Structures are given as structure tokens and as C-alpha cells.
Amino acid sequence: MKASFALTAIAALAAKASASCFSERLGYPCCSGNNVVYTDSDGQWGVENGNWCGIGGSTSQSAGCWSQALGYPCCTSTSIPVYTDGDGDWGVENGNWCGIQKGGSSSGGSSSSGGNVTPGEQYTITGNPFSGVKFFINPYYTAEVDGAIAQMSDSSLIAKAKKMKEYSNAIWLDTIKNMNEWLEKNLKTALAEQSGSTKVLTVFVVYDLPGRDCHALASNGELLANDSDAARYKSEYIDVIEEKLKTYKSQPVVLIVEPDSLANMVTNIESTPACAASEKYYLDAHAYLIKKLGVLPHVAMYLDIGHAFWLGWDDNREKAGKVYSKAIASGSPGKVRGFASNVSNYTPWEDPTLSRGPDTEWNSCPDEKRYIQAMYKDFTSAGIKSVYFIEDTSRNGHKTDRTHPGEWCNQTGVGIGARPQANPVSGMDYLDAFYWVKPLGESDGTSDESAKRFDGYCGHATAMKPAPEAGQWFQKHFEQGLENANPPL
């Protein structure tokens, strides 16, 4: 994730002699200044007149910390690691990565109180969880954007990319390992950012069902549709999420639950054997997680409902009301706040050029606004008590080049959409938020036809190519999304 480099010339030198600074014994002069650009086991290094030079007379890092060598500052107000790699422990301050010095203070000053932050009293969400809170900035995505900026030369594009770091997006818990790595660290960081009465909202995507994405190949998960993996999903995934959320009880959390799963149960059981085989595990898993997580007062859950060109047709919406009503009832006494639409998709919020007819295969909901309006009526009629929505606007700001609205993989013409905000549309009180669920720049799937997880949709004419594996960074797609942003960045 972070670039590292080695001074091979330094590593090759073995001279050991006393000198006014450590680098002289290695054949390099002492620096006249204190600008640290690299730190290794010998000490801190700077560059002057195009040559390496040593800073200070000892190998200690008291004047700085190891992360300065990698282009990141030392942490000054936190000692809470949110990520650890081969370089060391990383913290986040002001939305940027910083290095945490081992053994106490990161910057040589007094010890930060951030490491002693503990959860407070139980917080209870009342109403819209996105309203009246600060949105947590995903530090991993911030680092991805920094990496993307390093590959750019266009100043206008760089300026647009920098703005992306100001907005919140969801953190995907897409494997057991990633859940263990990211859930608590981000909860802890969000807790440390809370001050006074201002709460910090963190949004996670729960995404590791047995037999996940049964109708696709690019995003198949680690767990299979069998009894053994279903047990793992409960004990190693949901139970751990429950434990961590119970610990961090004094802050609001939103969970977006298992994208594509229940939508597949509406439309693909009869046509796709893998979906038929997954049905009992999908439904059982939803019952389990709603019972476990839906009773936590500081947590709001939204079940995924695909998008307008998946469930938008009249008969699909009618069937969806029955499937989702059954799933929610099975998790009683747990509760669901509402539903997430357009996750990882490109369907525009409004498209007045489309109407019900042959161009839309007679879909009465040819854009997301009309889809959510219809779903609100249908789900309410189906007896679902809490019917609120969030809309993923991370990639639907510009009408893409897809020949059919059902195209979903790395679509050309992509543009970032409306910014994350609560209560975004007047007159739609049941629309809780526009939010960026899918991080722009992370691939939907590979275009390599020889790859094990190649999905035909990623080879379609309207899918951008060449594309990396799902979840990996896709620079060209990211840059196009910036250029086509609507409203502009």
C-alpha cells in the first residue's frame, strides 16, 4: 500500500569508524540541515546537493520517526495503530497516514492520550443515522488516492483527486481476515475523533456470505455454500463483528448488509444453480445477523436491494416485498433500518430521457429515484415497518456507455456522483442519505479471460479494459470518474 525503498549503496558499506555523524563511517557526509527523507537501522538520512548525508550523531530516531522516510509525517496526537505493515504501525491524523514511534510518543514529545481513549456510554440512534454526525474518512482509501495522485501529472486532475480525500466512503469487510484487520481499528480511530457532542459515523459493508455473489464470478467470496462454511460465517465473522460493536457502543455505526444477496434470491434461484444451492444459507445467515446485530441500539442496518435495472420491474418488486419481509421477520427481535440501492452500480439517480418502453424492456423504474419511490410503496404495502433508503452515488454521476442498463463491470463513461449527505432530496423523507459505498477506483473485476474469476460482463464492449481483479486499484477508471464527476469536483 505504501511505497518503500532501500539504499542499496548504504547497505553494502560495512565501514565502522568513529565520526562526527554516523554516516561518515559509511562513506557519506553529515547533513547541514535536519530534513529527514529516509531512516534505516543506521540512522536518519537526508539529501543535499543530490547526495545522501547523515543527520545526527547516533542511530536513534529521536528527532523524527521512521515514516518520514516514506513521505509521511510522525503522529503527534495519536498512538492508536489503524494499520500495521512491514514498515511499522500507522495512525491517522487529519485524514492522513502518520507513523507511530514504538515505545510511546510518535514525535518525541509527551505521550498522546489518544491511546487511552475508551468507549463511553451507550449511544442510541434515533431517526436517520446519517443526520447530525461527522462522517468518518476511510484512511485506507485516502492512501489509495495518494497512490493514484503519485501517478498523475495533470495539475487539474491532481486537484480533483485531492478533493476525493475530503469525502467519506464505506469500509468493506469482505473476508474474515479483512474484518479482523479493519473493523476494530477503524472503530477505534473514529472513537478517537469524537469530541463533545459530535458523533463520528462509520459505515461498514458486511460482505462474506457462504456462496457469495452466486450469479457472478468476479466477486465470489472465500466461503462456500455448505454447512461448514456457514458455521464459520457465524462464529468467525458475525460473532466477532457483534463483539467489537458491543465494545464500541458510544458511537454510531451503519452496516450495509451483503450486497447482491437477497436480490439474487428474488431473480436468480430458478435460472442459476449456484443461487439455488445458496438459498438456505443466504436466508439463514440473514436471520442470524439480524438477530445478533439488529438489537444493538447504536447500529443501523440497510439490506441491499440491487438497483433499478435489477428489481425495478413490477413483478420483481412484488416478489422482493415478500423475500425481504420474510428475511426481516426471521431476524426478530433484531431490526433493520432500511435498504441500500445501487451499491457498486452505475444507474443514474435521475434519467429523464428514459421511460417505460422497449428501450428499457418495459421497466417502469428506469432510474434510481423512480425505483426507490416505487420500492417505498411496495415495501410498505408488504408490511415492512421501517422503510428507509440510502443511495450509492459513488459512480452514477454520468451516464455510462453501457448498451444495456444491467451492465455492471468497470463501465466506461463513469463519473463520480452526488457527495455523501443526509436527507438529500426534499420531499423524500424516507431517503436517509446519498453515500459513497463503492470506492471509485477499485475494480469490479478483471478483463483477463484466462483468469479464474473472469466474468463475461467484464469482457463486454462497454467495460473498460485492461482491468485488474475485483478490488484492486484501477487507475484509468478512477481518472475517468474524476473527469466526469457530476456535480464537478
Contacts with 477 (C-beta within 8 Å, 6 or more apart), sequence order: 410, 414, 440, 441, 443, 464, 467
Distance (Å, whole) CA 204 – CA 232:
20
Contacts with 81 (C-beta within 8 Å, 6 or more apart), sequence order: 89, 90, 91, 100, 185
Q: Consult the annotation and say whether 345 binds a ligand.
A: yes
Q: Tell me which amino acid residue 40 is.
A: D
Is 448 marked active-site? no
Catalytic residue among 89, 146, 260, 432: 260
Q: Consult the annotation and say whether 362 binds a ligand.
A: no
Distance (Å, whole) CA 483 – CA 489:
8
Q: Consult the annotation and say whether 307 binds a ligand.
A: yes
Task: Name the residue among 357, 398, 392, 171 with its Cα closest to residue 260.
Answer: 392
Is 444 marked active-site? yes
- Within 13 A of 124's CA, how many CA atoms are on the CB side? 2
Catalytic residue among 87, 213, 229, 444: 444
Q: Consult the annotation and say whether 174 binds a ligand.
A: yes
Is the backbone peptide bond immediately before 129 cis, with ω within 30 degrees of 0?
no
3-state helix, strand, coil in the chain (%, to 5): 30, 15, 50
Binding residues for substrate, as ranges, are 172, 174, 307, 310, 345, 408, 438, 442
Q: Looking at the annotation, which residues are catalytic?
A: 260, 444
Binding residues, as ranges, are 172, 174, 307, 310, 345, 408, 438, 442
